[in-house]
A = this chain, B = another copy of it.
Amino acid sequence: MGNTFGQLFRVTTFGESHGGGIGVVIDGCPPRIDISDADIQWELDRRRPGQSKLTTQRKEEDRCEILSGVFEGKTLGTPIAIAVRNKDARPEDYKEIAAKFRPSHADYTYEAKYGIRNWQGGGRASARETIGRVAAGAIAKKILSTLYADFEIVAYVTQIHEVAAKIDRSTVKMKDVEENIVRCPDASAAKKMIALIEQVRDEGDSVGGVTECVARGIASGLGEPVFDKLEADLAKAMLSIPAAKAFEIGSGFAATRMRGSQHNDPFEMRGGKIRTTTNNSGGVQGGISNGEDIYFRVAFKPPATIALEQKTVTSSKQEAELAARGRHDPCVLPRAVPIVEAMAALVLCDHALRQQAIKR
């Protein structure tokens, strides 16, 4: 259960890190949206392992194949199935973990839940699962661009360990983000981040950080007042990404140290439109978008796979030592950027269709 996301734009992912393949079925996509393999592949390439020295060296082309739902370059309105084959799987790397639970991985909890697991890798807990999300996100972005002329979504790294970047949230563009391999549009901070990640990797360790994401051009009125508040669905989307530990929208935790008189966003008329002077709300009020930029941050922990030796226990309850094998990222942040964007696009697209359903 729990492999489907969305109410109207419904995304179901499947596949283990090791096995036949990975993929996604998207149900509820409106018809006649232009979409090509290349649109999807471009996003998958941003997520792909081996794309830079900062990422795992697993060699996966992640070449996507659209199996259904698209005809002559346009969506049919029927389910779009996209599959990617697993290629560079090395199950032998995982033999040790067949018996030993890797600390802070999902090995133990899968065993507790299912009484069985595919020990030849991380199974569904592997970051490979996110391929399906990114593919679906590429389509969601297309739909949002069709609905909102000024729509754009940009995520970027704002912090790696203690290195924090300075970024102008209201102007940053995706091309700025893609200028370096750590995906931080502050060049000077990016340099330090890259050096830090390389150092940490060489020490056999890993490191965490923060991603920020901003969505522009979204109409007011998206989101539902109670449980399916826009920020609630965004929070769920973000916390469903492997290694995510926290989410904040707009002012976030900083709001807790503010007074209402500082925090409230006064309304004003600007360009003939009702706008807010400030945007502590992060573009969402009462769960519903107000037309301002929607922005939020996601905290990622340091990856659990490290080369240093760790204490653990075996499935037969013996205490043991473990040193990681396999090829892994010393820091998930650079590759998290397209995933965060994709998940945000899924939420926004779903709510855009929901709003269309009741529009009069």
Do A206 and B260 touch (CB < 8 A)? yes
**Chain B residues whose CB sits within 8 angstroms of the CB of A269 once the complex forms:** 313, 317, 319
- Does B256 lie within 8 Å of A299, measured CB to CB? yes
A192–B143 Cα distance when bound, in Å, is 51
User: Is A248 among interface residues, defined by CB-CB distance under 8 A?
Assistant: yes
A207 to B257 alpha-carbon distance, docked (Å) = 7
A60 on the B face (CB < 8 A): no
A240 to chain B, nearest CB (A): 4
Looking at the assembled complex, report how far the CB atom of A55 sits from the nearest CB atom of chain B, in whole angstroms: 16
Asked if residues A226 and B358 are in contact (CB atoms below 8 Å), the reply is no
Which one of A41-49, A113-121, A148-156 is at the interface? A113-121
Do B302 and A259 touch across chains, with their CB atoms under 8 A apart?
yes
Q: Which residues in chain A, 223-267, are within 8 Å of chain B measured between CB atoms? A: 223-229, 231-240, 242, 244-253, 255-267
Q: Give the CA-CA distance A284 to B222 in the complex, in Å.
A: 31
Q: Which residue of B lies closest to A159 (CB)?
A: B256
Contact check: which of B67, B68, B267, B277 meets A108 at CB < 8 Å? B267
| Chain B residues, CB < 8 A from A71 | 16, 19, 116-118
**Please, which residues of chain B bring their CB within 8 A of the CB of A146?**
360
Chain B, Cβ-Cβ closest to A244: B231
Whether A62 sits at the interface, judged by CB under 8 Å, is: no
Contact in complex: A68, B21 (CB < 8 Å) = yes
The 8 Å CB contact of A255, one of B281, B285, B289, B299, is B299
Instruction: Give Cα A260–Cα B329 distance, bound, in whole angstroms.
Output: 11
Of the stretches A28-36, A171-179, A183-191, the one at the interface is A28-36
Question: B109, A256: Cβ atoms under 8 Å?
Answer: no
A16 touches B78 (CB 8 A): yes
A144 interface hit (Cβ, 8 Å):
no
Asked whether A291 lies within 8 Å of B239 as measured between CB atoms, the reply is: no
Which residues of B lie under 8 Å from residue A83 when comparing CB positions? 67, 81, 83
Cross-chain contact of A291 among B5, B101, B112 (Cβ < 8 A): B112
Please, how many angstroms separate the alpha-carbon atoms of A263 and B74 in the complex? 34
CA distance A25 to B22 in the complex (A): 11
Q: A109-B290, A231-B239, A235-B247 given. 14 additional CB < 8 A pairs? A: A19-B68, A20-B65, A25-B25, A28-B358, A104-B285, A109-B223, A206-B261, A229-B240, A232-B235, A236-B236, A255-B300, A260-B306, A263-B301, A269-B313
